[in-house]
Amino acid sequence: MFISGFDPLTFSTETIMMLKEGDAAPDFQTRDENGKPVKLSDFRGQKVALYFYPKDDTPGCTKEACSFRDNYSTVEENGIKVLGVSLDDEASHQAFISKFDLPFTLLSDTDHSVADAYGVYGEQTWGDKKFMGVARKTFLIDEEGKIKKVFDKVNVEAHADEVVEGFR
C-alpha cells in the first residue's frame, strides 16, 4: 500500500491526526473486497464518503453499513461514492457484503496504513477493554480531493442522511 506524500519518518502521529476541513485528503492505494487495487485519486471529480469503521458484521458497524444500504438511492442521486474502510481482509468484506446485500465498496486496510494516514488508528476502548483499532469516523471528500467535512461522532442508524446533508 502507498500513501501519497506520507513518509512515516517525517510525519508525526500528531500531524496526521489533525486532518480537518479544507485539507487535501491523503491519497492511498489499497484493495477492495475483490482484491482489486483502489486509489482515492481514482475518484477525483466525484464526491466521496470515506467512512472508517471498526469491524465487519458487528452491531454498530452493521447498522452504519445498512444505513448506507437503505438510503443508497438518495446517496447515488446526490453523486456520492461510498467507500467503507476497516482492518478486515477481503474475504471478511465479501461475507459482510453478501450477508447484508451492501451495494458499495469496502476497502481492506489490514496494515492500517490508510487508517494511520487519516489519524483513525490507535488505542480504542470498549467497556473496560483497551485495544488497538480503528475509530468510527467519516471524511467527506469533494471533487477536488479536499476534505469538506469530518464526522468525529457518527449516528450509525442515520449516517447516510448525515453524509448527504454534509455535502449540501
CA angle 15/17/64 to nearest 5° reads 160
| Active-site choice (3, 19, 38, 61) | 61
Distance CA 69, CA 29 (A): 24
Residue 66: active-site member: no
Domain region containing 61: 2-166
User: Quick one: pLDDT at residue 43?
Assistant: 97
Q: Quick one: cell of 74?
A: 438518495
CATH code, 148: 3.40.30.10
Answer positive or negative: Cα dihedral of 54, 24, 43, 73.
positive
User: Quick one: pLDDT at residue 127?
Assistant: 84
User: Quick one: pLDDT at residue 17?
Assistant: 52
Element spanning 66, H or E: helix 59-70
User: Quick one: pLDDT at residue 6?
Assistant: 38
User: Quick one: pLDDT at residue 124?
Assistant: 84
List, for the chain, all residue ranges whose pLDDT scores fall below the cut of 70. Answer: 1-17
Q: Quick one: cell of 48?
A: 466521496
Element spanning 90, H or E: helix 90-100
User: Quick one: pLDDT at residue 99?
Assistant: 98
**What is the total count of domains within the chain?**
1
On whether the CB atoms of residues 69 and 157 are closer than 8 A, the answer is no
